[in-house]
Chain A
Amino acid sequence: MTQVMEQIVQSVPQPAGPVPAKMVVEDFSASFGEMQVLKRVNLQIMPCERLAIIGPASSGKTTLMRSLNRLNDMEPQFSREGRIQLDGHDIYHPQTDVPALRRRVGMVYAVPTPLPWSIYENITYGPRLAGVTSRQRLDALVESSLRASFLWDEVKDRLDMPGTDLSGGQQQRLCLSRVLALEPEVLLLDEPCSGLDPISTARIEEAMVELKRKYSIVLVTNNTKQAARASDRTAFFLMGELIECGPTVELFTNPKHQRTSDYITGHFG
């Protein structure tokens, strides 16, 4: 609770000017080998907002997400240009502490990928890596993060059950919990509901409303309806380019570009 307060206090606009962006993507291009996947993208992620990213398949949405926490570094073919800042610091600076960056910018994938361990171990893995050793603190983290992703009531009696034995929707919420246990600042959700039933999807959307008070959330979704109902701003990507970005209501009711309106009305993609 105090942490929520702190976060809110921090994010109160400074009297001098507008709220500084949490993350800034500046002229960012990315390629795999010869193929350019992102083309000079400029985008801001504000504190305590839900930013939806929509666009047809292969338009570079996942690549952008994986660039925000430097997961693409693992791809031998990957190369990039331009800058990405977190709180004003260039995340691709050679002296960046990359594991720490990944703790601050947590990510949930399209396919739930719990590690082949118990629920408890899945959630405490990240905090233990970060140096949390107190059993009490770990227990508290497990409970709070499971509650935040609406999974606690379903699994509280069987925390030592393998995470891989949960249903798909539960596994996805477990993956969300284990990211929340890192106490990140930015949450990247890459099509988190693409394989889920409507109830699990509703659960995750519900969780996001709560989570937005504390985190910046970037939600990639192939479901324009979800973007419309569960985001504050929306960005539309096409073939690696950011076509349009603005308040969700505006983008959906009054898109500036023809291609945006074609996409949201389902004329292609």
Chain B
Amino acid sequence: MATTAQPGASLMGASVRRKEDPRFITGTGRYTDDLKLAGQTYAAFVRSPHANATINAIDASAALAIPGVHAVLTGEDMKKAGVNPIPPGWLHPGIKIAEYRALAVGRVAHVGNAVAVVIADSPTIARDAADAVVVDYTDHPAVADAVSALKPGAPLVHADAPGNVVFTWQLGDAAATDAAIAGAKTVVKQHLVNQRLIANAMEPRASLASYDPAADELTLYVTSQNPHVHRLIMGAFVLGIPEHKFRVIAPDVGGGFGSKIFIYPEECVVAWASKVVGRPVKWTATRSEAYLTDAHGRDHDTDVEMAFDANGKIVALRVKTVANLGAYLTLFAPAVPTYLYGTLLSGQYNIPAIHVDVTAAYTHTTPVDAYRGAGRPEATYVLERTLDVAARQLGIDPAELRRRNLIAPDAFPFQTAVALQYDSGNYEPALDKALAMVDYKGFRAQQAAARAKGKLLGIGLSSYIEACGLAPSHIVGSLGAQAGLYESGVVRIHPTGKVTVLTGSHSHGQGHETTFAQIVASELGCTIDDVEIVHGDTGRVPFGMGTYGSRSGAVGGAAIFNSLQKVKEKGRKIAAHLLEAAPEDVDFAGGNYFVKGSPSRAKGFGEVALAAYLAHNIPADMEPGLEATTFFNPGNFVFPFGTHIAAVEVDSETGQVTVQRYVAVDDFGNVINPMIVDGQLHGGIAQGTAQALWEGAQYDSNGQLLTGSLMNYAIPKAEFLPNFETDRTVTPSPVNPLGVKGAGEAGTIASTAAVANAVIDALSPFGITHLDMPLTPAKIWSAIQGAKGGN
């Protein structure tokens, strides 16, 4: 196994061990909560215990009397100081934007809504004082689920959003879809609930702000996936601090999965309060606070109609979805159930007519936004679960039904009925490979034999596609994004030939310090130890849009790659000058520039770098130095795809599901580091499997979160999961110079449907055709009992 590079050897495609690991395995990583600034104080929040209430009065006198308390600040204080509400980053025509204040003013709209903050000398004093703040509320009826919220007479979440409608959104040809459904041989109808999830990155959110009056500069350390986005939105829209006076640093971040994209109230409060109290202020969420305040994910209620002709070909798809967006709109919330969902509803299939109709609702719950996959797992679940229901109804094997409907390999670029144009793809080989790996035919035989003995085995497929490398700025702009989605990459060659790379992507587990260094080492012929990847600091990296939507390799990596080409090209001119050759006669390989045909006439990359900085002897019209910047703005998304297959056993006595095997065949285009890509897949599969079997946030009808801790929200333990079997096909993406696609979300996108399908397949002897997730033992046991009773 390669651990470090041989100079000159290409490291692309090598499972290089990670550069970031030494600090993490020795306890010397630096996460936000590990930092301590001189004079640091601590924030604790006073939070609403009610889902819907009017704030009548806040009495902080007892809290202020506690020694060590510096201040108790409220929403009114913040508003008076000119701090603005937190805006969403994506708009739709007619969208109703509720005022989202970091500290509530006048009313609260979900349990956990922050009402006031205490700043004190220690975390325990701050907590004690927060508990001593007395808030007088008038409690009102609340509504937690979106379908109820849209019914006439439901409690209103915001007075200026009638009927609790945030927006309605449609895509596709309604008339063509209606006509095709009316003329179809078979129409399969299914109601699907994609339950609410909570991301649960293991590091709770944290922030630490420090204001320097001498420079009039604010520094914020924060658990962010996109520090430049934090700076832009907090600076320009919320706090009114210009970029050059505001530095945001996201140091080591312990996982995000989407939940650390958004601009949260607590970091706005901490940043503002540090200036008010004149001391650094730190806040770290408890896990209980994380459950109440980290943006949740999913939460769709969907009716699907999938229409087939006599040959089992899909002729139309109609999807109606109600999306619960919670009490306020966070950064990506409006985009998730629309552009990241509706546009994916063609999947890998040739579906001539599709119409999707989405209604987004406000409810008295924690805001809902992107969680790993963001819209694409929901779309995949709609297609793949419905296809399995259809397969049973049509009497066609699920693998065969998928195969019949795949987009043919010669049909690319393929224009779907829901706006996207897939640039490349070849779906059948991945399907075949996955079927072969799991021995599909053999499993079916084994399943039949097991059934004869009363044992319940099931197998489930999920053939998915995702659009990722979230980027094309002109496209996202035309769709309502309030920012471009390119990425920047600076390659700075030092006089000794060592390399610093500044990237706007952010790594919070993805291993960019390694994979990006592999790109550099492969291009420049150096080792990865000659390369430093700098990320997560607006004071060092010129600009960036951050990491989400599986975009870092395809957009951030491509920016670095292009800067490397610029640097190499300038180096070639310098080398040619030194070698007294024409630049077109000079080649670069293995870390050396040499004259074509006479490899002994050569200059090492380090010599050229030194020459660039000495500037004693470079071409007359050339600037000294060796550094390049690229803002890479790709022309399209990238479209990873694949087929995942789960094989399960269900215990008919207990309803317990055991995942026996999990096979994943994915096409991520070119792969930079297979070890890291497999790792991302494993984690994604675990999260998607968890949605199918265990996880689900539940509110009672008063808007109280019933699953508010790790004790009653079941994230998977090692014992719950099998080993994963992964393989790939390779269809390079044409939209970026590395030919890579995103790999960070595929596991989550594919696995939920695969596992759910496997469980329902296992239960088919009972005539069970569908159960909503999570497929817990209790739910399965009841369904089996119900089916037996009905017989």
Q: Do A and B bind each other?
A: no
**A positions within 8 Å CB-CB of B:** none
**B positions within 8 Å CB-CB of A:** none
